Structure 1
Amino acid sequence: MKKKLIVLATLMAIVPSAFAASGPQDIIPVPVKYEIFMEEYFPKVDGSDVRVHLGDKRFLKEINSLNIPEFARNEAYKLAVGKKGIDIFAVSEAGVYRAKTSLGMMMDKDSILTRCVILDYPRFRHRGLMLDISRNFRDKDFILKQLDAMAAVKMSTLHLHLTDDAGWRIQIDAYPELTRKAAWRVGRNFEEWRELGRQYSEEGSPLASGGYLTKADVKEIVEYAAARHIDIIPEIELPGHSGEVLAAYPELACLRHDGGRRISGDLCPGKDKTFEMFERILDEVIEMFPYEYVHIGGDEASKSGWKEGPVGGDEASKSDGKSVRTAATVWKPNILRMWMNCKAIS
């Protein structure tokens, strides 16, 4: 009996079976539901056997019966590999794109497909990647490659970290010094910049390392992402992590009572120019990135300048820089005003 089992196992290892063909098990992430049939299908090279059914009534009824969220419904698809071809059912173009991505993944594995029926939809709305191009700058072509990789595994959101102490990485017409002075630094990478004393440079300097995205770059990135049904969340850091802004516009810093050097890398909340600047910056950012969200950071503000120095600007006479609480009182309504302006623009 043991000899027979060994022979059978050996034959199974060397003789091709139906399961040698590519199928739903080769898709990443694994589909919500699928059924495999013990038959093979040889797809046409030119794709002429792929039929798309957008808004099919029976498929709509099936999807509606699942009571899934609207975002999942919009990206849902059914992919059927049958005897006479391949059928794709979807509610929207996003669903068609996800289905074709799954089909492409199966065909990358093998030119022969297993007959199957796949029903799939996302479990999470935000399936994201955060790309920090402040600390280590990455150009447009690099970002486009990341979007291709994201689309291959059906990710939906690119969080683009555009600004931080380590560099300002996006063109802002109203404040050109941000990219002339704050997009360049001494050191080939983030670690080297830190080791060399966090020195900024200027565009064109022999020691300058870095770069930034132009508005033309952003336009191409946004269009490329849209074709892959990926949204982008741009992040502009404030009030902390803003050393690069203060390198370009030092007048936005909190100073000591004697008018000496700035105390921290935080923006000064008591200066109207701080909020005027970021309202104008956000106007341009929102125009470049036509999405639901803009990220404004808000993390890790040391607030040391708010404690030790005058708040400054129009609010200084009211607060005398007495406390962090006073500075926060100035900060909150101004942030609210900026948010309301963003809502009006969007």
Structure 2
Amino acid sequence: MSEPTHLVPAARTATRTAGPDAALTAATTLWAAPGTGTAERWLRTVLGPALGLPLHPGPEDADGAVRLRLDGSLPPEAYRLEAGGQGVTLTGGGPAGVFWAAQSLRQLLGPDAFRRAPLDPGRTWTVPAGTVEDAPRFRWRGLMLDVARHFMPKDGVLRYLDLMAAHKLNVFHFHLTDDQGWRVEIKRYPKLTETGSWRPRTKFGHRASPHWEEKPHGGFYTQDDIREIVAYAAARHITVVPEIDVPGHSQAAIAAYPELGNTDVVDTAALGVWDTWGISPNVLAPTEHTLRFYEGVFEELLELFPSEFIHVGGDECPKEQWRRSATAKARMEDLGLAGEDELQAWFIGHFDAWLADRGRRLIGWDEILEGGLAPRAAVSSWRGYQGGIAAARAGHDVVMCPEQHVYLDHRQDGGPDEPVPIGYVRTLEDVYRFEPVPPELTAEETRRVLGTQANLWTEVMENPARVDYQAFPRLAAFAEVAWSTLPAPAERDFADFARRMGEHYRRLDALGVAYRPPTGPRPWQRRPGVPGRPLDGTPPRR
């Protein structure tokens, strides 16, 4: 590898050595130690076809071989990549480390290695002689994809798992339910998808927009689809964390089963799946029936998702219906609760205990801190850093995802050509200078920060190309923040990152990613006349 390298995210060390480069040809064999099967299969089924090479099995000592090894002295996700005249050796502390080494190998082979078929059959591929040694900063390097507002078909989800793997991201937060749609099959409650998975029309643009798309929108994942997604992710060392929103952001569920809502204050039977954006006032009723219903939902989810964490939302729950509801008031009196905030804390606490009894952990948006939180629960800090700081100081694990920094639905430029401008201007450089760990935390509190996550809310992303535009290239900058050990934000070398992105754009081109070019949106990426909600400093609400 030439110095400096073009790896994204940046490696801890990358050293060029004297001697011949490694050459990969039709004769190159692949040897894999026990425990390295995920990387072995990926090399044969993804990288091999891109290079036009069969990568047949061969002995460990074969000349010019690609070798996969484990070294227990390394941390599980750490790796060492060595290339030279004897071939390429990928060594990981665990199976994930070997897999991340394979991702770096693809980058070192050049942008054409990101295609699905070779442009030049018979080509000899070279890996510069040298050594890369690398390990991630955080254990949680996440991307949240909202498929409730705009449904993304299964193939699109699998594609995003591939894009995550290419950037060494390892947690896929799957936002499956909201007011505007329910996206996962629950067999004991079929109306959740029969009714809750589609809406009759959709607001085009922000909630204040006068434009509507007057056709039904919907879709959902069968349980077999979910099993496939989870297995596909696991083969790429990505954990899928599902989110089922409670007790707010639940109008789609109430439209399917009206008894879940506050029937004593609103005619829930007249509600449909919400067709606009914002925060619906229609929230779950705090009844035993609602608790049993969602326990049934989570029972099926736990069979589908093996992840330690299950996300329950817990954010943006308007309390007006509870204030007017005799049923809610009676529940508060029975429990001795001081008000509606404590009622929500009780609701979340019920599922925290329920999940803990089954060996899982609850995670929710930082509103779940209000009214008290069980110590096993973790917090997604989205309303700035303060929720995460409070959570860490209270002994909770934290995932830092402040909207002011890593909400990728926010606009990338202040110019008039940005499509449906939402939120703050957050440029590629802004994301690159994001620091997940607040300086106010002590060393002990800092250990509570599991990692960080970028969020893609899809209200104004009506198709996968719009998701690509909002995600990239900023997701590449975020991946470097999550993986690499970088200096303080003001000291980061953005010029070097921009230089490496010059090569990385070619990789994204080969992958077919419809990213925002550095010079601004292409003509077909603009959305003239569709109003957004640009902000200049007032904290937005999603």
Q: TM-score, normalised by structure 2?
A: 0.51
Tell me the CA shift for residue 255 of structure 1. 3.7
Distance 1:293 1:53 in 2: 31
Q: Map Cα deviations across residues 16-66 of structure 1 (whole Å, 9 max, x no partner).
A: xxxxx767712211111121125551512244233435334xxx44x3xxx
Q: Secondary structure at the match of 1:287?
A: helix
Q: State the structure with more CA Rg.
A: 1
**Is 38-47 or 189-198 further displaced after alignment?**
189-198
CA distance in 2, matches of 1:190, 1:295: 28
Among residues 111, 123, 129, which one is paired with 2:143 in the alignment?
Answer: 129
8 Å contact from structure 2 (residues 22, 129) kept in 1? no
Structure number with higher relative contact order (C-alpha < 8 Å, ≥ 6 residues apart): 2
Deviation sequence 1:169-224 (CA, Å, 0-9, x none): 0000111111011100022566499869999xxxxxx9532100001111111111
What is aligned with 2:322?
306
Structure 2: how far apart are the matches of 1:197 and 1:311? 38
Superposed CA RMSD in Å reads 3.3
Higher deviation after alignment, 89-98 or 271-280: 89-98
Q: Structure 1 stretches of 5 or more lacking a match? A: 1-20, 64-72, 200-205
Label 1:192 to 1:207 Cα distance change in 2 as closer, same or farther (>3 A).
Answer: farther
| Higher share of residues assigned helix | 1
Q: Does 1:265 align with 2:282?
A: yes
Residues in 1 aligned to 2:108 and 2:249: alpha-carbon distance in whole angstroms: 44
Paired with 1:196 and 1:165, the residues of 2 have a C-alpha distance of 20
Alignment gaps of 5+ in structure 2: 30-63, 113-124, 269-279, 363-542
The correspondence of residues 233-248 of structure 1 with structure 2, limited to 5 A, is: 233-248=241-256
Secondary structure of 2:242 counterpart: strand
Q: Which residue matches 2:90?
A: 88
User: What residue in structure 2 maps to residue 288 of structure 1?
Assistant: 304
Any idea what SS the aligned residue of 1:104 has?
A: helix
Provide the secondary structure at the position in 2 that maps to 1:236. strand
Judged with a 3 Å threshold, the aligned counterparts in structure 2 of structure 1 residues 319 and 52 are, in CA distance, closer, same or farther, namely: closer
The answer to whether the 8 Å contact 1:127/1:156 transfers is: yes
Match for 2:216 among 208, 224, 237?
208
**1:275 alignment partner, SS class:** helix
Q: Distance in 2 between matches of 1:242 and 1:196?
A: 24
CA shift digits 1:77-98 (9 cap, x unpaired): 1111122211222222211111
Tell me which moved more, 165-174 or 307-316: 307-316
AA paired with 1:290? P
Counterpart code for 2:65: V
Is the alpha carbon distance of 1:194 and 1:292 closer, same or farther for their aligned partners in structure 2, counting shifts above 3 Å? farther
Aligned length: 304
Q: 1:196 to 1:177 in 2, by over 3 A?
A: farther
- The letter of the residue matching 1:36 is R
Structure 1 residue 280 displacement after superposition: 0.7
Measured in 1, the distance between the counterparts of 2:2 and 2:308 equals 38
User: Relative to structure 1, is the Cα distance of residues 215 and 195 closer, same or farther in structure 2, using a 3 angstrom cutoff?
Assistant: farther
Structure 1 position 154 matched with structure 2 position 168 = yes
For residues 276 and 188 of structure 1, the distance between their equivalents in structure 2, rounded to whole angstroms, comes to 32
Are 1:37 and 2:54 matched, yes or no? no
Asked if the contact 1:283–1:342 (Cα under 8 Å) also holds between the matched residues in 2, the reply is no
User: For the Cα contact (< 8 Å) 2:249–2:317, is it kept in 1?
Assistant: yes
Determine if contact 1:50/1:88 at 8 Å carries over to the other structure.
Answer: no
Contact kept? 1:183, 1:210, Cα under 8 Å: yes
| Gap change, CA 1:304 and 1:99, over 3 Å in 2 | same
**Match for 2:198: what amino acid?**
W
Q: Counterpart of 1:55?
A: 70
> Which position in structure 2 is the counterpart of 1:187?
201
**What is the distance in 2 between the residues matched to 1:31 and 1:344?**
33
Q: Per the alignment, do residues 171 and 216 of structure 1 end up closer, same or farther by CA in structure 2, a change over 3 Å counting?
A: same
CA contact (8 A) 1:187 1:193 kept: no
1:228-279 CA-partner distances (Å, limit 9, x unpaired): 11111100000011111111111111244xx55359321111x111100111
| Deviates most, 160-169 or 89-98 | 89-98
* Cα distance in 2 for residues equivalent to 1:215 and 1:320: 40
Deviates more, 1:86-95 or 1:216-225: 86-95
TM-score (norm 1): 0.78
2:400 paired residue number: none
Secondary structure, in 3 states, of the residue corresponding to 2:85? coil
Task: Tell me the secondary structure at the aligned position of residue 147 of structure 1.
Answer: helix
Correspondence for 2:158? 144
In structure 2, what is the equivalent of residue 14 of structure 1? none
The answer (yes or no) to whether the contact 1:163–1:236 under 8 Å persists in 2 is yes
Which letter does structure 2 place at the counterpart of 1:103?
A: L
- For 1:85, the aligned partner's letter is G
Q: What's the secondary structure of 2:23's corresponding residue?
A: coil
CA 1:112–1:334 in structure 2 vs 1: closer, same or farther (change >3 Å)? closer
Counterpart Cα distance in 2 of 1:247 and 1:322: 30
The answer (yes or no) to whether the contact 1:312–1:321 under 8 Å persists in 2 is no
Give, in angstroms, the shift of residue 146 of structure 1: 0.4
1:113 aligns with 2:127: yes
Please tell me whether the aligned partners of residues 307 and 322 of structure 1 are also in contact (alpha carbons under 8 angstroms). Answer: no
Partner residue in 1 for 2:386: none
Contact 1:151 1:228 in 2 (8 A): yes
- Percent identical among aligned pairs is 33
Q: Give the 3-state SS of the residue equivalent to 1:294 in structure 2.
A: strand
1:236 and 1:297 in contact (8 A); partners too: yes
Q: Match of 2:473?
A: none
SS of residue in 1 equivalent to 2:245: strand
Q: Work out whether residues 79 and 118 of structure 1, in 8 Å CA contact, stay in contact via their aligned partners in 2.
A: yes
| SS of structure 2 residue aligned to 1:80 | strand
Residue number among 102, 107, 124 corresponding to 1:100 in the alignment: 102
2:355 is matched with 339
2:237 to 213, 229, 232: 229
Q: Is residue 22–residue 107 contact of structure 1 (8 Å, CA) maintained in 2? A: no
